[in-house]
Amino acid sequence: MSVEVASNTLNDRVAVASWVTVLTCAGLATSDFVLALVTPGYDLVGETSSQLMSPDAKYSTPARIFLGLYAVLLLPFALLLPERFSGRTPFAVLSVAGIWVHMGASLVSALALNDSDAKVFGGVTANEIHDEAAIAMFGAAAAALVGAAFGYRSSLRYLRVLTFVVVGVLAVIGPLFVAEVWTDVNGLAERIMAVSFVAWIAVTAWSWRREPAPSAGSAG
């Protein structure tokens, strides 16, 4: 009976985490697109999401709130992710740590106002903190993906393929974005990376409803 109760409890946790994660990722992507469309003078293709959070952006506060909520509401996903790996392998640690750093950086990025010269501490401006946090967001996302690609041995072929596809997207676009090769399409490049990553999170979380976690004693 205790085993059955434990199984039901785990299934309930997976169901909640799946729904919360999918809705969170869909909410972030939708809010970014909608705010980009309704913000006066904003260029969806050329300007990044960070510029929606600038002091002079009409909907800066909602944009920051949505990003902050995204960071907080990924908690169920982050808590259950370690259970999807067969042991505490280096790739498992990399993926889980990547998700937690991504969440923390997203929250910092939401709290620190973009393009603000306000000094936060030690002469560091809110804009500098926001920019560094944004870089950390994508770097941590890449780490989480690489860890999952090589350490999360899902039995679902579509999830394995999706993981490697998203790794490829970030590997190709990421360096070009950081090097500002495509300045005229910065916003589009960033959104392709962001949507690819949150889509991977959402699909991964939803796949947990179909695929049981590996047993604690299984080999890595």
User: So what's the pLDDT on residue 178?
Assistant: 83
Model confidence at 219, pLDDT cuts 50, 70, 90, reads very low
Q: Is the pLDDT confidence value at 185 over 80?
A: yes
Rounded CA-CA distance 115/191 in Å is: 19
Average pLDDT for 209-216: 73
Q: Helices in 39-185 by DSSP H: which ranges? A: 60-73, 75-80, 90-111, 126-151, 157-178
Question: Kind of pairing, strands 119-121 and 124-125?
Answer: antiparallel
Q: Is the pLDDT confidence value at 181 over 90?
A: no
User: So what's the pLDDT on residue 8?
Assistant: 56
Average pLDDT for 21-39: 96
Tell me how far apart the 2 most distant CA atoms of the chain are, in Å. Answer: 62
Which own/partner contact pairs does 82-86 have at CB distance under 8 Å and 24+ positions apart? 83/213, 84/152, 84/154, 84/208, 84/213, 84/214, 85/151, 85/152, 85/214, 85/220, 86/153, 86/214, 86/218, 86/219, 86/220
Q: Is the pLDDT confidence value at 152 over 90?
A: no
Average pLDDT for 25-42: 95
Q: What does pTM read for this prediction?
A: 0.90
Average pLDDT for 123-143: 93
Q: Is 122 left (phi over 0), alpha (psi -120 to 50) or beta?
A: left
User: So what's the pLDDT on residue 6?
Assistant: 45
Q: Is the pLDDT confidence value at 220 over 80?
A: no
Residue 91 sits at φ, ψ, to 5 deg, of -70, -35
Model confidence at 217, pLDDT cuts 50, 70, 90, reads very low
Model confidence at 154, pLDDT cuts 50, 70, 90, reads confident
